[in-house]
Chain A
Amino acid sequence: MADTQVPVTQTEAAATTTGEPARWARGGLGWRLLLRWEAVLVVLLIASILYGRSVSTHFLSGSNLFFTGLNVGEIAIMALPLTFIVITGEIDLSVASMLGLASTLLGVLYKHGWSIWAAMAAVLVVGALGGALNGVLITRLGLPSIAVTIGTLTLFRGIAEIILKSDSVTGFPIGWTNIGILPIHGTHIAYSVGVFLLLAVVFGIVLHGTPLGRSIYAIGLQAEAAFFAGIRVQRIKFWLYVLSGVICALAGILWTFRFATARYNAGTGLELNVVALVLLGGVSIFGGRGSILGVVLAACVLGSLQEAMTLVNVAPQVQNIVVGALLLVSVAVPNAPELIARVRRRLASSRLPRRGTTEGVSVDINP
């Protein structure tokens, strides 16, 4: 089997069963559909900013922007590689545990006298190794990603717990821990947000402007067809998991500096927040659909909403309800036209035998 990278047009041709995916891959009809959810996100963002301003005059102040960014930064960073992974039809639930493992290792190495730079480099390497473990299990052994990453979620956190137990490491160099207190010089942007924006630009360019990005969409839409078109499906997926591991380790480093403390339980439970952010960004859990812009907008919406609610002392529990409702909306809206059409069809054909209807089926077999 020839393993060379095939020109894009052949990829598109092979990847289509209907005309749509090809157009999406090229950015035609796909853009229109994508932009519909992005447009909704922009409206939501404006609405939440207006809400924020109405409840507090401090809402758009520099320090508030800084705080918002600080709270959302690491989650948003981890959402970027996860977006790629979800578009290919997989998932990675081990993201927050890798953050915790990274924090633990950074602390332990630093405590043992490593220079902060060497410690950070080592932590990133470990991140890559962890991602590679995910990648091997999922691509080489063909294990389902949701199950594997639940396993590595537990494993990574467990390793961190063995290393650091209930201790913490403090005393990191002030220059680094200042990222938790000071924004980037001359702006009101938190360092983690700066990193996020930088990465978002890179990820966005890769996803929407390179053959690799188009391959990622193709894999998500029709992995088998993509494979036969010459896309190295397994290799791409493997490296996406490695990338996720490295980025999550980076998030762990930022987290540790922000709190000036390293603990094994850093970021426990955050994985669901990251998944929620990706889904809110309009990335379809079935794969093949989504954009980096959506994720960036979703991060802004979530951040500003939560900040507004905290300023008004809306209890964190109620904030949870809002996030949950948003999630549902994020999936319902793109599905809406299909939904309505299907309901209309069901009502029209309610007397017909069940065969041939699309109940419970993900592929529309009616022409």
Chain B
Amino acid sequence: MTAVADAPPVPDRGRRMLESVGRARELGIVAAIVIVFVVTTVKNSAFAHGDSVQQLLAGASLIALLGAGEALVIISRNVDLSVGSVLGLSAYLVGTLFEHHHGVPIALAFVVGIGVGAACGLVNGILTAVLRVPSLVVTLAALYVIRGITALIVSGHQIDPGSIPGSFQNIGNAAVANVPWLAILVTVIVVGINYAMRTFRPARDLYAIGSNPEAAALAGVPTGRRICVAFMISGALAGLGGVLFISEFATVNSTAGSGYELLVVAAVVVGGVAIFGGSGTVLGAALGALLLNTISQALVAARISAFWNQAITGALLLAAIAFDRFVSLRVNRALRKQGGASHG
């Protein structure tokens, strides 16, 4: 089989168009958040109070963090269903660390949590990229296995809040000017990764892999390595999420994080990341998490029965997917017209 020509580079205008679409999508989510916020504040002015805003930001933080990692994986046309169980495992290990070694430096806790997560992510990545097992299967299996291991280690024990050092708990609970440290930390990470995705070549490769894996491989992209790294980052962020989890709650049993995976994927999809990969931003995913959390807290604040929460989230998800599809069709059509023009 002879070598195939490089895939034609996306015309500058095309790339700018994609970027502006992405930006518009993010702005759209921000607009949605603002609308929900304003409408709910009208109904219940306490929603805009300092405490409430603090809770809004804190509540979305963990899912946004996990969403950032998940976005990387989904952009590369894979999926990571193990994030919730990795979070649980990491949270429990860190808690046990504090229980048995009271004087442990906080930095070590972070290293342990992130390390455990990255290790799990690496295994996922190897199975997916090198052994070519579909990521849905790998991470589904990982979900089962990690949950099982966590439950085995935990066996009915619950971490006692007394053994978690107060300074560590402050990370998850304290706030500065009503902005929780949790939210600040997550925002920094998300913005950082988002910037990396736009500037560094290896990060942009993920988009190429997600759009067309064969073309990417033929164009010389080391797809296996990139996918491994994407999973490692997703795992590391889930591990970090576990550290922050125990910092915030100071207690954890074996059910921590269970059910998060679908929540995270939902947030990422609402945030504009296409499920088949190739488009979307980490920032969008984080904003998606914020939107979903804002809606669920808004429902409570507006005294709408909490029983409506799931149905509204589901409807919103479907609307977001349909909208994204509509937009991407438009963009594709425009790009094709451009490509046709350049050949004409």
Contacts and interface: CB of A to CB of B under 8 A. Distances in A.
Interface of A: 137, 141-144, 146-148, 150-159, 161-162, 165, 269, 272, 275-276, 279, 285-286, 315-325, 327-328, 330-332, 335, 338-339, 342, 354-363, 365-367
A332 B149 contact: no
B145 interface: yes
B137 A158 contact: no
B148 A317 contact: yes
B266 A150 contact: yes
25 contacts: A141-B322, A142-B325, A147-B317, A151-B266, A152-B318, A155-B311, A157-B314, A269-B259, A315-B151, A315-B152, A317-B152, A320-B147, A320-B151, A323-B144, A324-B141, A332-B131, A338-B132, A339-B132, A342-B132, A355-B3, A355-B220, A357-B217, A359-B224, A360-B213, A361-B213
B151 A156 contact: no
Given A142-B325, A144-B275, A360 B265 contact: no
A342 B131 CA distance: 9
A320 B154 CA distance: 15
B140 A321 contact: no
A137 B322 contact: yes
Nearest to B265: A150
Given A328-B127, A356-B3, A156 B259 contact: no
B209 interface: yes
A153 B141 contact: no
Contacts of A151: 266, 269, 314-315, 317-318, 321
Nearest to A346: B130
- The B interface, classified by DSSP as helix, strand, loop or mixed, is helix
A158 B140 contact: no
A152 B254 CA distance: 28
Interface in B70-118: 79, 81
Interface string B306-331: 01111111110110011001000000
B119 to A, nearest CB: 16
Interface string B253-272: 01000010010011001000
B4 to A, nearest CB: 8
Given A147-B275, A360-B216, A366-B1, 10 more contacts: A151-B321, A158-B312, A276-B144, A279-B137, A317-B148, A317-B152, A328-B137, A331-B134, A355-B3, A356-B1
B291 interface: no
Top 4 A-B pairs, shortest CB-CB distance = A360-B223, A158-B311, A155-B314, A317-B151
B310 A154 contact: yes
Given A158-B309, A339-B132, A146 B137 contact: no
B145 A324 contact: yes
Contact of B217 (A342, A358, A367): A358
A154 B134 contact: no
B132 A324 contact: no
A268 to B, nearest CB: 9
B271 to A, nearest CB: 12
A137 B1 CA distance: 40
A141 B1 CA distance: 38
A162 B129 CA distance: 42
B308 A162 contact: yes
Contacts of B145: 320-321, 324-325
Nearest to A163: B307
A34 B131 CA distance: 20
B118 to A, nearest CB: 20
A325 B138 CA distance: 10
B20 to A, nearest CB: 23
A134 to B, nearest CB: 10
A144 B74 CA distance: 13
Contacts of A159: 311
Contacts of B322: 137, 141, 143
Contacts of B214: 361-363, 365
B131 A317 contact: no
Given A144-B275, A360-B217, A156 B133 contact: no
A150 B262 contact: yes
B136 interface: yes
A361 B224 CA distance: 9
Contacts of B149: 317, 321
A358 B224 CA distance: 10
